[in-house]
C-alpha cells in the first residue's frame, strides 16, 4: 500500500467518523440528551492528567510486549513484508503515528465506545451489564486482530487488541493511554526492524 493510499484511507476514515457521529447524534439519539452527552464523554474523552498510569506505564508495557513478541516470532511482526521499499520517515510517520491514532479512534473510541454506550443506556442496572462489557471487550480485540491480516487467529495482534482495550476500560474510556501505548508499540517494531534487520 502506497503512502498516498494510506493518507486517503485515513482521510476517508475521519470522514466516516464525522458522518457517523452526525447520524448518531441527529437520528439515533435525537430525543435523548443524556445519551448524547454519554456518547460524547466516551468518544471524546481525552485526559492529560495522571501521567504515570496514562503515559509512562502504557509506554513501558507496550515496548516490553512488542520486544517479547519480536523475540518469540524472530521477526518484527511481518513489517518487513509490507514496507521493505518505503522511506523510513514515511514508515515512522504513517506506521508509527497516523496508523495507531486512526486505529485507536476506530477500534476503541468509535466501535468499542459506541457499543459500550449502548450497553450503558440499555443494561446499566441489569445483572447482565458486566457480561455485556466483557463480551464487547473480547469482540473488539478479535475485530482488531482479524481486520489486520484477515486471519482467524493471530496471537500478537489479539494481544495488542486486548491490551489496548484494557487500557481504554481501566482509564474510564479515556482513549489517550491506548493511543500512547499503540504508538509506542508500533515505533518499537519499526525502529527494531530498521536498525536490526536493515542496518545489521
- φ/ψ of residue 30, rounded to 5: -60, -35
Confidence of residue 24 (pLDDT cuts 50, 70, 90): low
Q: What is the pLDDT of residue 46?
A: 45
Site of grid cell 443506556:
121
Residue 34 has pLDDT above 80, yes or no: no
Is the CA virtual torsion 190, 100, 170, 118 positive or negative? negative
Q: Could you tell me if 141 and 165 are in contact, meaning their C-beta atoms sit under 8 angstroms apart?
A: yes
pLDDT of residue 1 exceeding 50, the answer is no
CA–CA distance, 175 with 104 (Å, rounded to integer): 7
In tens, the pLDDT along 60-108 reads 777 777 777 767 766 555 555 555 567 788 888 888 888 898 899 888 9
Across 124-141, b (16+ Cβ under 10 Å) vs e yields eeeeeeeebeeebbeebb
- Whether 113 and 169 have beta carbons less than 8 Å apart is answered as no
Report pLDDT digits (tens) over 137-196: 999 999 998 887 777 888 888 888 998 999 899 888 888 888 888 888 888 878 877 776
Residues 21, 24, 27, 30, CA torsion sign? negative
Do 177 and 55 touch, CB atoms closer than 8 A?
yes
Looking at the whole model, is its pTM more than 0.75?
no
Checking if the pLDDT of 109 tops 80, the result is yes
Please determine, for residue 43, whether its predicted confidence score (pLDDT) is greater than 50.
no
> Which pLDDT value is given to residue 142?
93
Amino acid at each position: 500500500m502506497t503512502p498516498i493510499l494510506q493518507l486517503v484511507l485515513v482521510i476517508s476514515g475521519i470522514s466516516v467518523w464525522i458522518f457517523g457521529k452526525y447520524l448518531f447524534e441527529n437520528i439515533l439519539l435525537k430525543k435523548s440528551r443524556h445519551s448524547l452527552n454519554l456518547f460524547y464523554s466516551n468518544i471524546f474523552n481525552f485526559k492529560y492528567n495522571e501521567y504515570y498510569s496514562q503515559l509512562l506505564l502504557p509506554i513501558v508495557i507496550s515496548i516490553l510486549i512488542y520486544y517479547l513478541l519480536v523475540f518469540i516470532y524472530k521477526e518484527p511482526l511481518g513489517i518487513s513484508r509490507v514496507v521493505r521499499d518505503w522511506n523510513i520517515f514515511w514508515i515512522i510517520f504513517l506506521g508509527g503515528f497516523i496508523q495507531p491514532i486512526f486505529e485507536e479512534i476506530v477500534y476503541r473510541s468509535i466501535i468499542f465506545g459506541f457499543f459500550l454506550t449502548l450497553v450503558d443506556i440499555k443494561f446499566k442496572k441489569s445483572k447482565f451489564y458486566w457480561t455485556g462489557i466483557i463480551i464487547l471487550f473480547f469482540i473488539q480485540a478479535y475485530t482488531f486482530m482479524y481486520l489486520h491480516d484477515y486471519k482467524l487467529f493471530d496471537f500478537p495482534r489479539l494481544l495488542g487488541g486486548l491490551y489496548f482495550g484494557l487500557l481504554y476500560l481501566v482509564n474510564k474510556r479515556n482513549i489517550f493511554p491506548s493511543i500512547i501505548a499503540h504508538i509506542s508499540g508500533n515505533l518499537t517494531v519499526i525502529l527494531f526492524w530498521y536498525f536490526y534487520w536493515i542496518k545489521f
